[in-house]
Amino acid sequence: MNIIVCLKQVPDTETQIKISQDKKSIEESDIKWVMNPYDEFGVEEALRLKEKFGGEVTIIGLGPKRVTESIRTALAMGADKGILINDPALEGSDALGVAKALAATIKGMGFDLIFTGQRAVDDDAGIVGITLAEFLGIPHLPVIVKIEVAEDGKSLKAHRPVEGQTLIIETGLPALITAQKGLNEPRYASLPGIMKAKKKPLEEKTLADLGLNPSEFGKGASKLKVIELTPPPQRAAGKIIDGESPEQKAAQLAKLLHEEAKVL
């Protein structure tokens, strides 16, 4: 079974995000970049399926040279090879442009399954996976928490949570799955895996290599325009409830909730 995992590199959730002076982007100088957490679930599931059915796992990332760090992380986890789509014309591309570049890369490859994260934690758009499936003309199974692949490797059942219940979807392969938290627990890269990852093939492609027109990518071609980024409002300082007994404190709390918070 040949599986492709598309990953995105995003700011670490513990990184303090600062808005640039243009108020349309963020300061990137002090950011620690990591693999999108939802993409990690895709990598782990791909590796588990490879261990059961054989085949190989290919990691595809799009972005500047630093994205190779996240691709190498996936290779250290056990993936077989990586591809980086790196072209200055891609900077500022929207989800449509990203999916178009990914599709052009994948169309020449044989595959049974594609994994993406159900969303990226930086923009929370959740668009690339479904758009990529549309470009490739294959089924798209979103927000999946469990996969059951048939023994012949030609079909699968996928579990998707819906309003307290579970929707079970069956499809033939190839197909694209967007991974949700709960699908698995991603493994850590071992030291031997890290050493092996340095020798695994990692190919770099430009838009010209993919036969794509640079004018169809970047900020100029983006359908999504950022008007302004603003930080969330600062939280008000907390209050300590005074009182000599629990009863007095409870009464004071109820008064504040009624008169100030206006929730009672």
CB 82 within 8 A of CB 71: yes
**Mean pLDDT (whole number) for 70-89:** 97
Comparing C-alpha atoms, which of 97, 170, 178 is closest to residue 143?
178
Does the pLDDT of residue 209 top 80, yes or no? yes
Q: What is the pTM of this model?
A: 0.87
> Cα–chain-centroid distance for residue 208?
26
**Mean pLDDT (whole number) for 247-257:** 89
Q: What is the pLDDT of residues 229-239, one digit of tens each?
A: 988 888 878 88
Comparing C-alpha atoms, which of 123, 40, 117, 106 is closest to residue 74?
40
Measured CA to CA, the distance from residue 205 to residue 84 in angstroms comes to 6
pLDDT band at 144 (very low <50, low <70, confident <90, very high): very high
pLDDT band at 29 (very low <50, low <70, confident <90, very high): confident
Does the pLDDT of residue 255 top 90, yes or no? no
Phi, psi of 144 (to 5 degrees): -95, 135
- Using the 8-state DSSP alphabet, how is residue 83 labeled? E
pLDDT at 261: 79
CB 14 within 8 A of CB 69: no
H or E segment to which residue 35 belongs:
strand 33-35
* Residue keyed to tokens 């990184």: 15
**Which of 40-44, 149-153, 259-263 is modeled with the greatest confidence?**
40-44
Give the angle 168-2-179 at the CA atoms, nearest 5°. Answer: 40
Q: What is the pLDDT of residues 117-137, one digit of tens each?
A: 999 999 899 999 999 999 999
Does the pLDDT of residue 1 top 90, yes or no? yes
